[in-house]
Amino acid sequence: MKLFYIYRMLHLHIENETSRLRAVILGTAESSGPTPRIQDCYDPKSMEHVLAGTYPKEADLVREMDAVAAVFNKYNVQVFRPQVIENCNQIFSRDIAFVIEDKLIRANILPNRESEVEAIRYVWNQVDRDKRIILPPECHVEGGDVMPWNNHVFMGTYSGEDYPQLITARTNRDAVIAIQELFPHKTVKSFELRKSNTNAKENALHLDCCFQPLGKGKAIIHKNGFLIEREYQWLVDFFGKEHVFEISKEEMYNMNSNIFSISEDVVISEKSFTRLNTWLRKHGFIVEEVPYAEISKQGGLLRCTTMPLIRDGS
C-alpha cells in the first residue's frame, strides 16, 4: 500500500461516523512482534488466545489489513499508515488519536504505547498547530470510546472505584468533561460500560465494542455492554427501536458492532457476520466483506484499526 509522507497541511473534518470518507489512518501489522506474555496483554480476549495457543500470526494480520486497504483504494480514500516500529503492535490506530470537527486530539493511552503515537507524528505535523489538542494527563481517553455524531459526541466511560485496577477501563470522567469544554456547542453524552479484565464476553473495552451508529439512521447495539440500563435505553430511543440491530453476547464477543462506514450506505464488515450483513443489505447498505477474524483475537475490529481524518461535510 502506498504511504503518504508528503508534508502538506491537512484540513481535517469529522462531524459523524458515516459521511463520505476521504482520508483515514489505517494501522499496520508489519513487525507486530511475537506473541505477548499474559502479563503484557491489554485485554481479556488477547489473554484468552495466548493461553489457547491461537494468538494470531503476523502474516495473517497483514493479509487482513491489506484487504481493508484494498477496499479504501476501491473507494478512492487517501490512506495514511503508521511508520513501522520494529516488534510493536500498531494495529489499533483508533486508540491513539481521534478527530472531532477540525481538531486532532491525541489520546492519553496506556503509558507503554507512547511509541505508537510517535509513529503518526508525520500526520500530526500536517495539522495546523492550533488544531492539535493534547489533553491534560488526568484525562484518560482512547478513540474507541469517542463517537462524533453531528450535534452530539457519544463517549464510553467507566467511573467505578476499581478503575485503577481495570486495564480495560480506558476513558474516565475527566476526559468526558474535557471534551465537553472543548466543544461546548455539542451535547456530550457519556455511557458507563461493563468492564472485566478476565472475561471477554463481559467486557466492553470501548464504546464501539457494544454500539455503533450507521448511515440511514440505523445503529448496532449490545445491551449487556452498558452498566446502566437507562443509558442503553436512551440510545435505543434516540435511534428508534425499529432502526436498531441488537446483537447477542456471542456477536458482541466477535465484534459485530465494530464495523466501519465509508459512507451513509457503504460499510466494511467481517465476512463471517452473516446475520448482521444480511440485515445491512436488507436495509439498503452496500457491504464490503473482508476477512478480519484474526484481528478480532486481539479485542478489536474494523473501527478500532481505522482513524478517520476527513469526511465530507453535511
We report the CATH number of the domain holding residue 200 as 3.75.10.10
User: 141 lies in a domain?
Assistant: yes
Whose cell is 499474559? That residue is: 38
User: 3 lies in a domain?
Assistant: no
Mean pLDDT score, 35-53: 91
pLDDT digits (tens, 9 = 90+) for 275-289: 999 999 999 999 999
303 — pLDDT class (breaks 50, 70, 90): very high
User: 265 lies in a domain?
Assistant: yes
Q: Tell me, what's the pLDDT at 230?
A: 98
User: 2 lies in a domain?
Assistant: no
Mean pLDDT score, 149-153: 98
116 — pLDDT class (breaks 50, 70, 90): confident
HSE-CB at 288 with a 13 A cutoff on CA atoms is 19
| Backbone conformation region of residue 33, classed left if phi is above 0, alpha if psi is from -120 to 50, else beta | left
Mean pLDDT score, 138-143: 93
User: 109 lies in a domain?
Assistant: yes
User: 63 lies in a domain?
Assistant: yes
Mean pLDDT score of the chain: 93
Q: Tell me, what's the pLDDT at 114?
A: 75
Q: Tell me, what's the pLDDT at 7?
A: 56
User: 15 lies in a domain?
Assistant: no
Q: How far apart are CA 147 and CA 143, in angstroms?
A: 8
User: 8 lies in a domain?
Assistant: no
Contact 175, 169 (CB under 8 A): no
129 — pLDDT class (breaks 50, 70, 90): very high
HSE-CB at 17 with a 13 A cutoff on CA atoms is 32
pLDDT for 2 beyond 60:
no
Grid coordinates belonging to 161? 472505584
Percent of the chain scoring above 90 in pLDDT: 82
314 — pLDDT class (breaks 50, 70, 90): low
Grid coordinates belonging to 18? 458515516
Percent of the chain scoring above 70 in pLDDT: 96
Q: Tell me, what's the pLDDT at 91?
A: 93
Q: How far apart are CA 192 and CA 231, in angstroms?
A: 8
Mean pLDDT score, 33-42: 88
Range of the domain at 119: 21-311
pLDDT for 308 beyond 70:
yes
Q: How far apart are CA 201 and CA 254, in angstroms?
A: 9
Which one-letter amino acid corresponds to residue 79?
V
Q: How far apart are CA 109 and CA 97, in angstroms?
A: 9
Mean pLDDT score, 299-309: 96
Q: Listing from the earlier edge strand, what are the strands of the sheet with 78-80?
A: 78-80, 21-26, 306-311
Please list, in sequence order, all residues whose beta carbon lies within 8 angstroms of the beta carbon of residue 259, skipping any fewer than 6 positions away.
Answer: 212, 220, 267, 268, 269, 270, 273, 276, 301, 302, 303
From start to end of the chain, where are the E strands?
A: 21-26, 78-80, 97-100, 103-106, 132-134, 146-149, 152-157, 187-192, 211-213, 219-221, 244-246, 260-261, 266-270, 286-290, 306-311
Domain count for the chain: 1
48 — pLDDT class (breaks 50, 70, 90): very high
Q: Rounded to 5 degrees, what are φ and ψ at 21?
A: -80, 135
pLDDT digits (tens, 9 = 90+) for 212-241: 999 999 999 999 999 999 999 999 999 999
Q: How far apart are CA 59 and CA 57, in angstroms?
A: 6
